[in-house]
């Protein structure tokens, strides 16, 4: 009996054996997968290429295609997805046929005219928002990341890296904490490996953790330090491994010895504010709380009379920068939503145009006017 068949067919023991072999596997997934029998095996997407995926199955990583049925309904497996794989070793065919329910979803506003959302990773438990001391530290950028991470459903943790270069790290942590609310801020040095112990509560067995943050803040260095080996190139020079090549296996999931897993790929690194209305509210919860007392329900907190948010700014309870940042991100969100709507309307218009052409053709064909 081969490894994955053993895992898929061995009844009650399968949850445990799969938890060991597919990081993040749990009873809920087991239940969702129980509908599948026979040549189906469970797996987790460790890397996504244009038309194929690398799938972690018990004991190994295999490459698989995506079933036509799945593509037809517009379901695209992404890094971190738990999937159902139709495995037929005798024909050498492997196909992702379904995606098991996602716990969390990291998305971004899709590039291009259509607007809309694009899911880039799934089932992330925690996202480390990495920043570093010095000129890279930008509170406004952190607020943006917080909004994105909140809306993904993952738990945000801010890492302040390169504290070996800072005389007063506590002061910098306090500054960040002023915008982070209840989100933990962890000072560390990825290079000299100080402070890494504070990450262990988030790197428990079965947990999936991704890293976001600007170029040069030390994400690759941190991954290498946590893994104790050089797996990611550092120094900001990165090859484009995904360029149309389907055969290279780009490592994007890095299992830690204890069973936790780090996820790192360019798509996650480059996230932007997408459909993050809910995340924005969580990232600016003190503004949302104050706004409950505004006189007008649709108050924009700019110049309305009876605005409780402006009053809180006046009283020094909320900083002007925070409110300005909230306004800026809200505007951005409205702009993106409008862009998406315009894209949809245009599609609709094109569809109607086509219908009109079809009707004309039909009338011509039947001789009716």
Residues lying near Zn ion in the complex (CB under 5 A): 294, 299, 301, 307, 309
- # of chain residues touching ligand GTP (CB under 6 A): 20
Site membership for ligand GTP, residue 216 (CB under 6 A)? yes
Site membership for ligand GTP, residue 190 (CB under 6 A)? yes
Q: Which does 216 bind (CB under 5 to 8 A by kind): Zn ion, ligand GTP, none?
A: ligand GTP
Site membership for ligand GTP, residue 131 (CB under 6 A)? no
Q: Which does 347 bind (CB under 5 to 8 A by kind): ligand GTP, Zn ion, none?
A: none
Binding-site residue numbers for Zn(2+) are 294, 299, 301, 307
Site membership for ligand GTP, residue 152 (CB under 6 A)? no
- Look at the block and give the residue holding tokens 């087991």: 30
Site membership for ligand GTP, residue 238 (CB under 6 A)? yes
Q: Which one, 203 or 309, has the nearer CB to Zn ion? A: 309
Of the candidates 60, 215, 248, 293, which one interacts with ligand GTP according to CB under 6 A?
215
Stretch in the footprint of ligand GTP (CB under 6 A) among 31-39, 178-186, 202-210, 211-219: 211-219
Quick note: the x/- pattern for ligand GTP over 88-127, rule CB under 6 A, is ----------------------------------------
Q: ∠ CA(155), CA(145), CA(150), 5° rounding?
A: 35
Rounded to a whole number of angstroms, the minimum distance from the CB of residue 340 to ligand GTP is 28
Rounded to a whole number of angstroms, the minimum distance from the CB of residue 312 to ligand GTP is 36
Site membership for ligand GTP, residue 240 (CB under 6 A)? no
Interface residues with ligand GTP (CB under 6 A) are 161-162, 164-165, 189-191, 213, 215-221, 234-236, 238, 269
């Amino acid at each position: 009996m081969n490894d994955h068949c053993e895992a898929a067919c061995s009844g009650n023991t399968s949850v445990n054996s799969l938890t060991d072999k597919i990081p993040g596997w749990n009873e809920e997934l087991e239940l969702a997968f129980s509908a599948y029998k026979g040549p189906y095996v469970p797996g987790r997407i460790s890397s996504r290429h244009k038309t194929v995926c690398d799938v972690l199955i018990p004991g190994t990583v295999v490459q698989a295609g995506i079933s036509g049925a799945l593509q037809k309904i517009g379901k695209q497996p992404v890094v971190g997805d738990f999937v159902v794989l139709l495995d037929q070793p005798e024909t050498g065919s492997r196909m992702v046929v379904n995606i098991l329910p996602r716990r969390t979803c990291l998305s971004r506003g899709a590039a291009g005219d259509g607007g809309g959302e694009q899911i880039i990773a799934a089932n992330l438990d925690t996202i480390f928002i990495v920043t570093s001391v010095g000129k890279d530290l930008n509170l406004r950028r952190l607020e943006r990341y917080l909004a994105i991470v909140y809306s993904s459903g993952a738990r945000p943790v801010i890492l302040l890296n390169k504290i070996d270069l800072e005389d007063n790290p506590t002061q910098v942590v306090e500054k960040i904490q002023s915008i982070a609310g209840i989100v933990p801020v962890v000072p560390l040095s990825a290079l000299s490996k100080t402070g890494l112990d504070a990450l262990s509560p988030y790197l428990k067995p079965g947990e999936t953790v991704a890293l976001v943050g600007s170029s040069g803040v030390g994400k690759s260095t941190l991954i290498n330090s946590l893994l104790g080996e050089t797996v990611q190139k550092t120094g900001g020079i990165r090859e484009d491994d995904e360029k149309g090549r389907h055969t290279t296996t780009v490592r994007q999931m890095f299992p830690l010895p204890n069973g936790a897993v780090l996820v790192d790929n360019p798509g996650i690194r480059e996230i932007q504010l997408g459909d993050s209305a809910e995340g924005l509210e969580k990232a600016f919860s003190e503004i949302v709380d104050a706004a409950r007392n505004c006189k007008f329900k649709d108050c924009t907190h700019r110049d309305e009379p009876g605005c409780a948010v402006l009053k809180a700014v006046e009283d020094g309870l909320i900083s002007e920068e925070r409110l300005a940042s909230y306004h800026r991100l809200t505007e951005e969100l409205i702009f993106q939503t409008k862009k998406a709507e315009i894209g949809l309307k245009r599609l609709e218009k094109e569809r109607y145009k086509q219908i009109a052409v079809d009707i004309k053709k039909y009338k011509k064909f039947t001789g009716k006017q």
